[in-house]
Copies of this chain bind each other. A is one copy, B any other.
Amino acid sequence: MINTLFLPELREMLAENNVAELREFCTALHPARTAEFMEGLSPQETWAVLRHADLALKEEIFLYFGHDRQIAIIEGEDRSEVAELLADLPADDRVDLLHDVAPDVVEEILPLLPLHERREIIRLRAYEEDTAGSMMTTECAMLSESLSVRDALAELTRVAEHLETIHYIYVVDKDVHLRGVVSSRRLVTALCKPDQKLADVMDTDLVFVNAMDHRDEVTSRVAKYDLSAIPVVDDQRRLIGIITHDDVIDAVRQEATEDAQRIAGVAPLDEGYLQTGLVELWWKRGVWLTILFVTAMFTASALRAYEVKLSQWSWLVMFIPLIMSSGGNSGNQSATLIITALAAGNVRLRDWKLILWRELRVGLMLGGVLAVLGLGISFILTMGEKGTSDQTLWPLVIPITVLLVVTCGAVTGSLLPLLFKRLGLDPSLMSNPFVAAISDILAIVIYMTVSVLLLRPTS
């Protein structure tokens, strides 16, 4: 819901050009809330309000706007004002933004930026999306190993204002090679002996990523070592930036979203759902949907082979969907459980025998319950049906089939992600519809086999 609480007043202040009140509005609240209260305004109105905040605050509020609004402001407002704002934004956010701004606008803005910032932008834009380099900010607390603790603090006092975080202070040699790290906690503790060199208090067993590493590498390393920021180095182990906790949390969420989309057989979207074009959406869904459609043809061929049997006992047809969906749902559950367990590190490839044995038993337990229900259902639904066989064994067909199909679904669903992983593929890759496709064929074959065995023609 858009927060409309302040909208009329804001518009009134704008109409009256009430500088004092507009300034008061910008400074009174947490920047995130200020941004929230402006959601109902147009990008032009938003910028007109923001003009009354000083640069640092303007920047903070701007960063809390939605992506579309940020782009609209950059593309639509006065180029020199926008350039002033951009020059001050954290380097990583700036690059992300400019990536989506119309190229001709970027060309107009770039020359208005200070030389240093301009070079920075061109350098960071060179990193591919989803690499550590594209996630990092270049502004980090970086101090020389020869400084004393006292001088380090003095230096920090001077530069801290321009940094995103000083949670970790990175210690470098004269060629900016990363040598060690000092947490702000450690630095403050070390103040009791202010003449120690940074080299003496720093931690040298470093955890870092290369700028070319994939985003997944960043999130798994940060989570494993419980870091709040991770340094990024180039191939010569020179410190070139850091990735901070907020970008890591965003990345973890992004990964979860992409996994969920892959599980459902959608190639991960680059943008939000509403921002993705129809043709892209069609393509990213269509590829897998088509592959699955083709695999479903095998199910059709399998059924075709039993056409004669099915025409003998026509009541068998009505249970086809019931049996297929039971197997599919059971497989779906198992696949998701194994995929999430693999992602969380709870399960490894070598556990496959254990998993097989568990799923076999759980599958039988689940199938058992459904078989009992199936017995009741087939009694009711087959009443008054005709077929060319002795009717005493009829009610057993559905329960036995359901028991076997649910168990096979559970086993298939659990083994498929493990197989994908063994083959070096992403376990979450379209496993859900793929499991469904396999368990569909299995379901049909099992169903027809059980029927043929139990329903011998009386003739």
A-to-B contact residues, CB < 8 Å? 1, 28-30, 32-33, 153, 156-157, 160-161, 163, 165-167, 184-186, 188-189, 191-192, 205-207, 222-228, 244-246, 248-250, 252-253, 255-257, 259-261, 263-266, 269, 272-275, 278, 281-282, 285-286, 288-290, 292-294, 296-297, 299-301, 303-304, 307, 310-311, 314-315, 317-322, 324-326, 328-330, 332-333, 335-341, 343-344, 346-348, 351, 354-355, 358, 361-362, 365-366, 369-370, 373-374, 377, 381, 406, 432-433, 436-437, 440, 444
Bound Cα distance from A259 to B256, whole angstroms: 9
- Asked whether A228 and B266 contact (CB < 8 A) given A207-B30, A319-B300, the answer is no
Among A186, A278, A326, A344, the one with the most B-chain Cβ atoms within 10 Å of its Cβ is A344
Within 8 Å by CB of A188, from B32, B153, B256, lies B153
Residues of B within 8 A of A440 (CB): 321, 325
Look across to chain B and name the residue whose beta carbon is closest to the beta carbon of A273: B341
Within 8 Å by CB of A315, from B253, B269, B307, B336, lies B307
Residues of B within 8 A of A344 (CB): 253, 257, 272
A314 with B307: CB separation less than 8 A? yes
Bound Cα distance from A311 to B97, whole angstroms: 62
Within 8 Å by CB of A264, from B184, B294, B336, B358, lies B336
Within 8 Å by CB of A340, from B261, B296, B370, lies B261
Bound Cα distance from A188 to B68, whole angstroms: 35
Residues of B within 8 A of A222 (CB): 249
A333 with B299: CB separation less than 8 A? no
Bound Cα distance from A373 to B302, whole angstroms: 18
- Asked whether A310 and B300 contact (CB < 8 A) given A185-B165, A440-B325, the answer is no
A366 with B285: CB separation less than 8 A? yes
Within 8 Å by CB of A432, from B156, B286, B332, B377, lies B332
In the complex, how many angstroms separate the beta carbon of A182 from the nearest chain B beta carbon?
12
In the complex, how many angstroms separate the beta carbon of A349 from the nearest chain B beta carbon?
9
The complex is assembled from copies of this chain, and their number is 2
Residues of B within 8 A of A320 (CB): 303, 317, 320-321
In the complex, how many angstroms separate the beta carbon of A363 from the nearest chain B beta carbon?
10
Residues of B within 8 A of A32 (CB): 207, 224-225
Bound Cα distance from A265 to B337, whole angstroms: 10
Within 8 Å by CB of A347, from B191, B274, B294, B297, lies B274
Residues of B within 8 A of A285 (CB): 330, 333, 362, 366
B189 with A282: CB separation less than 8 A? no
Bound Cα distance from A265 to B332, whole angstroms: 8
Bound Cα distance from A361 to B280, whole angstroms: 13
Bound Cα distance from A164 to B223, whole angstroms: 16
In the complex, how many angstroms separate the beta carbon of A389 from the nearest chain B beta carbon?
16
Bound Cα distance from A297 to B167, whole angstroms: 59
Bound Cα distance from A239 to B51, whole angstroms: 36
In the complex, how many angstroms separate the beta carbon of A324 from the nearest chain B beta carbon?
6
In the complex, how many angstroms separate the beta carbon of A188 from the nearest chain B beta carbon?
5
B300 with A205: CB separation less than 8 A? no
Residues of B within 8 A of A301 (CB): 318, 381
Bound Cα distance from A107 to B437, whole angstroms: 53
Bound Cα distance from A222 to B160, whole angstroms: 22
B346 with A318: CB separation less than 8 A? no
Bound Cα distance from A164 to B328, whole angstroms: 47
Look across to chain B and name the residue whose beta carbon is closest to the beta carbon of A326: B293
In the complex, how many angstroms separate the beta carbon of A99 from the nearest chain B beta carbon?
18
Residues of B within 8 A of A192 (CB): 157
Bound Cα distance from A328 to B370, whole angstroms: 21
Report 25 cross-chain contacts, Cβ distance below 8 Å, ordered by A residue.
A160-B188, A223-B246, A245-B249, A248-B249, A249-B252, A253-B343, A253-B344, A259-B260, A264-B332, A264-B432, A272-B344, A285-B333, A285-B362, A286-B365, A289-B366, A289-B370, A293-B322, A300-B318, A300-B381, A304-B381, A310-B314, A320-B320, A329-B433, A329-B436, A332-B433
Bound Cα distance from A361 to B278, whole angstroms: 8
Look across to chain B and name the residue whose beta carbon is closest to the beta carbon of A293: B370
- Asked whether A281 and B362 contact (CB < 8 A) given A224-B32, A299-B322, A369-B290, the answer is yes
4 smallest CB-CB distances across A and B, nearest first, come from A256-B256, A272-B346, A264-B336, A273-B341
